[in-house]
Amino acid sequence: MRRADRLFDIIQALRGTTQPTTAAALAQKLEVTPRTIYRDIATLQARRIPIEGEPGLGYFLRKGFDLPTMMFTMEEIEAITVGANLVQRIRDPKLQEAAESVLNKLQHTVPKELRSYLASPRFYVSEGDAVRPEGIELLDVRNAIRTCRKISISYIDEQQRRSQRTIWPVATVYYVDVTLIAAWCELRGDYRHFRADRIVQSKVLEDRFAADSSAMMAEWMATRSQKS
């Protein structure tokens, strides 16, 4: 998480409570250390954000503080809101949390006359049918893609045959009813799609693959187009 995003999230967390919130509670929520929270609060206070309190007792945001508004057209707000709700259909917990965070940020930063629309949007997005994977964390997959790390997986195919694979993850592929991991498979020597819900065990390895991830993405897209 970027520091700017974390500072915003601290303000949002303090805004949403009537009781002082300790640095330890904020640290747990934002997955950082209490020391980091103390530094961030000092930074916010130096920027004249009216945060009051002290270490050990907790912090609160003085009433009446509001963030500067962000200017969006109605169409832009609809695009963001529909997109965030579509993300919430997929079974990726961290992305679902991020989508909820986006909507929460919008609620507090768009002009007041548009906030009622965000609270009660005029559209409906149906529930997704994808099964939440148990044998792999999709957050770990996305991190492995960004850092070019190999993943060892234990995989069960359609015929219930179990195999051990080492893959080079290229992309996460989200459909309404299933989540796939597109990857180069060392066993098959080719690109393969692995259903996330059929992975029973996984481990992100220290080994990195040397191939350029952008080039791999383009290559995978090309092979995907040829097969469709």
Q: Is residue 42 part of a domain?
A: yes
Q: What is the CATH number of the domain that holds 218?
A: 2.30.30.520
Residue 7: give its domain's CATH number: 1.10.10.10
Residue 128 within a domain: no
**95 and 53, same domain (yes or no):** no
Identify whether residues 208 and 158 lie together within a single domain.
yes
180, part of any domain: yes
Residue 99 domain-assigned (yes or no):
yes
**Contact 165/206 with Cβ under 8 angstroms?**
no
Examine the domain organization and report whether 194 and 147 are in the same domain.
yes
Measured distance CA(127)–CA(130) in Å, rounded: 9
Read off the pTM: 0.65
161-212: pLDDT as tens digits: 999 999 999 999 988 888 999 999 999 999 999 999 999 999 999 999 988 8
26 and 102 both lie in a single domain = no
Q: Same domain, yes or no, for 56 and 94?
A: no
Tell whether 97 and 174 lie within a shared domain: no
Q: Which of 30, 27, 64, 60 is nearest to 45 (CA)?
A: 60
Cβ-count burial 117-132 (b if 16+ within 10 Å, e if not): ebeeeeeeeeebebee
Q: Is residue 171 in some structural domain?
A: yes
CA distance 4 to 165: 39
Give pLDDT, residue 210: 85
Note whether 147 and 209 are within 8 A (CB).
no
Residue 110 makes CB contacts below 8 A (sequence gap 6+) with: 69, 70, 72, 77, 118
pLDDT digits (tens, 9 = 90+) for 119-148: 777 776 777 777 889 999 999 999 999 999
What is the span of the domain harbouring residue 51? 3-61
Domain count, the chain: 3
- Domain assignment present for residue 131? The answer is no
For residue 126, tell me if it sits in a domain: no
The pLDDT assigned to 80 comes to: 86
